Amino acid sequence: MRMFRLLGFILAIILAQPALANAPGQEAEPIRNARSLDANNGAVILSFRSELYLIAKMELFFLREGGDPANAADVYRFSRKEGGFSLGGNSTTKYKVRAYQLPAGRYRLVAHGAKCTKVPSPNERCIADVRFAGIGETVSFPSRGYGEDAPVFEVRAGALTNAGDFALTARNTIEWSVIPPKKLSKIAKQFASIPTAPQPNVSQDYLLKYPLRPRSMSDDRGRRY
């Protein structure tokens, strides 16, 4: 019976995925190379990993300097979810390095979360009712808002920003590290023709403390998918 409840719970979350279309902000636009850049935009290389098993899509939210988290035009999000054939294990501990384009400006990490209908405030969690055929529960998703001390990267028009790797840990924190050269080199070659922007500004408190290892659907405080 317990296994059937778990399967029903997982299916309910999968079927509820269209609700993520209401996630706050706007999805960062992927690009392939420097020629794809629009005027007044810069390129950003970013990796997003998770040691938690992600049944629901997880979002990173960045606020443009001077903007309002409640204004969708000021918030950009980057997402990560499990692959279609990853039920046997967590695939999101692996690097997923992508290039995006953003308007020029400075961007600060303001939150992470899944199924969020607004950008979480500091220490706020995103909550959703997940049910299928009468099976399910109200779920408090691993999520958190961040203050002024969070990592910041700068985007310059016509330039490339290496924003680094952002990792969701089982401590329900986003922690930062550099992207390994072997993971970075292939995509960076597509932007070799444009100048580079400054490195991100990341305090010691946000540096990745331990290597990621695959975890379950629960963080270390029992917040469960």
Question: What's residue 6's pLDDT?
Answer: 44
Q: Is residue 170 helix, strand or coil?
A: coil
Q: In Å, how far from its chain's centre is CA 83? A: 15
Positive/negative CA dihedral, 109, 77, 42, 162: positive
Question: What's residue 85's pLDDT?
Answer: 56
Q: What is the pTM (predicted TM-score) of this model?
A: 0.86
In eight-state DSSP terms, residue 209 is -
Distance CA 117, CA 86 (A): 26
Question: What's residue 217's pLDDT?
Answer: 73
Name 201's bridge partners. 152
Distance CA 170, CA 148 (A): 23
Q: Per residue in 131-147, pLDDT tens?
A: 656 666 777 788 999 99
Question: What's residue 14's pLDDT?
Answer: 46
Question: What's residue 139's pLDDT?
Answer: 74
Tell me the two tokens of residue 119.
Answer: 């950008």
Q: In Å, how far from its chain's centre is CA 42? A: 19
Q: Is residue 95 helix, strand or coil?
A: coil
Q: Is residue 37 helix, strand or coil?
A: coil
Question: What's residue 82's pLDDT?
Answer: 83
Q: Which residues, 6+ apart, have CB-to-CB distance to 134 below 8 Å?
A: none
| Half-sphere exposure of residue 127: CA atoms within 13 angstroms, side-chain side | 6
Question: What's residue 105's pLDDT?
Answer: 98
Question: What's residue 225's pLDDT?
Answer: 56
* Residue bearing tokens 């967590």: 90
Enumerate residue ranges in the chain where pLDDT < 50.
1-21
Question: What's residue 19's pLDDT?
Answer: 41
Question: What's residue 123's pLDDT?
Answer: 81
**In degrees rounded to 5, what are phi and psi of residue 25?**
75, -165
